[in-house]
Amino acid sequence: MFKNFLTKFSKDMAIDLGTSNTLVYVKDRGVVVNESSVVAINTRNDQILSIGEEASKMIGKTPPHIVVSKPLLDGVISDFEVTEKMLKYFINKVQQENSFMAPRPKVVVGIPLDITEVEKKAVEDAIMSAGAREVHLVENVIASAIGARLPIQDPSGNAVVNIGGGLTEIAIISLSGVVAWRSLKTAGRDFDHDIINFARNEYNLLVGERNAERIKMQLEGFESDKEVPLKIRGRDLITGLPKEISINPLLILHCMDRSVKMIVENIKATLEITPPELTADIYQKGILLTGGGSLLKGLDKVIAKAIRINVQTGDDPLTCVVRGLGILLDDKNLLKEVAVPSSSREEETVR
Ligand SMILES: Nc1ncnc2c1ncn2[C@@H]1O[C@H](COP(=O)(O)OP(=O)(O)OP(=O)(O)O)[C@@H](O)[C@H]1O
Ligand SMILES: [Mg+2]
């Protein structure tokens, strides 16, 4: 009976805890939190100054006593304490909007494929100590396929490439499970670093991370015929003074060729280890791109050309994982089918 009360009144949540962004989905309300995974801390008194978008605006602009921390690295928690505080802040924000006495929520959270038991336990512990009453782990690739409404329960191959900020995960899914996969630490953030390196090496211009990301988002695509020069601002490494230069956008796009090639090579390698029956399905259905990194214009076409299979970017790829996790809040049977055993439950079965 008490459980019924909890189910009725608690606002269960789906959380996509990403390297770049954290999203929270609440049943009947949709995506209620969509913020950068960034926390700004005042080291003089150890107080948190801001979390999310506000903290992200401080990147590269802080005096020495303010530290802007990104507590996730390559899809996993690298700073447990800060992650816990960030989650607590987001969960509280959602709870307060509902009622001041809301019971602790059930949480479904996404995890990467290539995760150790210790990293998995860190996710569970952070969510529990941030205020959840129970936590269920689901692989991000499975969640993104569900979010894109792919028929993952069928005995048929579904190919998903989730390009996030720190991680690209490639998975072939059939009968609600991952049959073949590859994961690499080349993703959206590396495109930004490519731009930073390009500006430094070719133009002696030092560009900040946020600036590089902004330029990446302005690009018109690999096959665009628009060649309106893009303005890049930074510090001239020779004079030490601020400088603005105009660069042909195609040159900027091609500075990312190596990173794009890494992704393509890993997609090919995944297809090579996929059972032929499933390869045939994928050839027919194509490959789905999800995650914010897939918003790099023209990336779908470059991948399609390289692997000679149809490639499509999903609708709203930045929210695909959290929407998939949200669907699982409502579908207990599917959640049972796809949930990864919790680290404590695995310990119990080992014993
Ligand atoms: N319009 C855009 N064009 C190009 N890249 C974009 C665009 N919008 C967002 N991105 C990139 O998407 C990435 C973030 O995507 P996403 O939120 O899916 O990652 P994440 O889930 O936080 O990271 P991960 O899954 O690797 O842990 C960032 O690198 C960001 O620069
Ligand atoms: Mg992600």
| Whether residue 136 is found in the same domain as residue 232 | no
Distance 292 CA to ligand 2 centre (A): 8
- What sign does the CA torsion over 107, 188, 284, 268 have? negative
Q: Whose CA is nearest to atom 24 of ligand 1?
A: 164
C-alpha 347 to ligand 1 mean position (Å): 34
Q: Name the token pair of 229.
A: 């020069």
Residue 339 confidence (pLDDT) above 70: yes
Alpha-helical runs (H) found in 273-331: 276-285, 299-307, 320-330
| Domain housing 220 | 189-254
| Mean pLDDT to the nearest integer, 278-307 | 97
Domain identity same for 136 and 148: no
Ligand 1 contact, 71 CB (< 6 A) = no
Q: Taking the C-alpha atoms of 117, 118, 124 and 129 in order, what is their torsion angle to the nearest 10 degrees?
A: 160
CB burial of residue 204 (10 Å; 0-12, 13-18, 19+): middle
Residue type, 262: M
Same domain, 168 and 298: yes
Q: Which of 106, 126, 96 is nearest to 17 (CA)?
A: 126
Residues 82, 29, single domain; the answer is yes
Give the position, in ligand 1's atom list, of the atom nearest the Cα of 140. 25
What are the pLDDT digits (tens) for 148-179?
Answer: 999 999 999 999 999 999 999 999 999 999 99
Question: In this structure, which residues have their CB less than 5 angstroms from ion ligand 2?
Answer: 18, 164
Considering the domain architecture, whether residues 157 and 290 belong to the same structural domain is answered as yes
Residue 325: give its domain's CATH number. 3.30.420.40
Cβ-contact 290, 161 below 8 angstroms: yes
Q: Quick one: 178 and 284 in the same domain?
A: yes
**Pairwise pLDDT comparison (165 vs 221), residue with the higher score:** 165
- The verdict on 156 and 302 lying in the same domain is yes
Number of domains in the chain: 3
Distance 18 CA to ligand 2 centre (A): 5
Q: Write out the two tokens for 351.
A: 């014993």
Mutate-to-test residue for ligand 1 from 53, 83, 295, 302, highest number of ligand atoms within 8 A of CB: 295
* pLDDT grade for 9, boundaries at 50, 70 and 90: low
309 and 341 fall within a common domain: no
- Give the end of a domain, one of 254, 270, 294: 254
CA atoms within 13 A on the CB side of 85: 17
Please report, for the domain that includes residue 239, its CATH number.
Answer: 3.90.640.10
* Per-residue DSSP letter, 294: G
Q: How many of the other CB atoms lie within 10 Å of CB of 285? A: 17
Confirm or reject: Cβ of 217 under 6 Å from ligand 1. yes
Where residue 52 falls among pLDDT bands split at 50, 70, 90? very high
Higher pLDDT, 8 or 229: 229
Confidence bin at 7 (pLDDT 50/70/90): low
Give the tens place of pLDDT for each residue, 65-105.
999 999 999 999 999 999 999 999 999 888 876 565 678 89
Provide the whole-model pTM. Answer: 0.94
The verdict on 103 and 235 lying in the same domain is: no
Nearest protein Cα to ligand 1, atom 9: 292
Q: Of 266, 277, 310, whose CA–CA distance to 154 is shortest? A: 277
The encoded tokens of residue 114 equal: 């290539």
**In a shared domain, residues 158 and 295:** yes
Distance, CA of 116 to CA of 63 (rounded, Å): 36
User: Degrees (nearest 5) of the Cα angle 133, 334, 324?
Assistant: 75
Ligand nearest to the backbone CA of 22 = 1
Ligand 1 centroid vs 69 CA: distance in angstroms? Answer: 17
The pLDDT score that the predictor gives to residue 228 is: 82
Residue 348 has pLDDT above 50, yes or no: no
C-alpha distances (whole Å) from 318 to each of 80, 201, 302, 327 are 24, 31, 20, 16
Q: Are residues 308 and 331 in the same domain?
A: no
163 and 295 in a single domain? The answer is yes
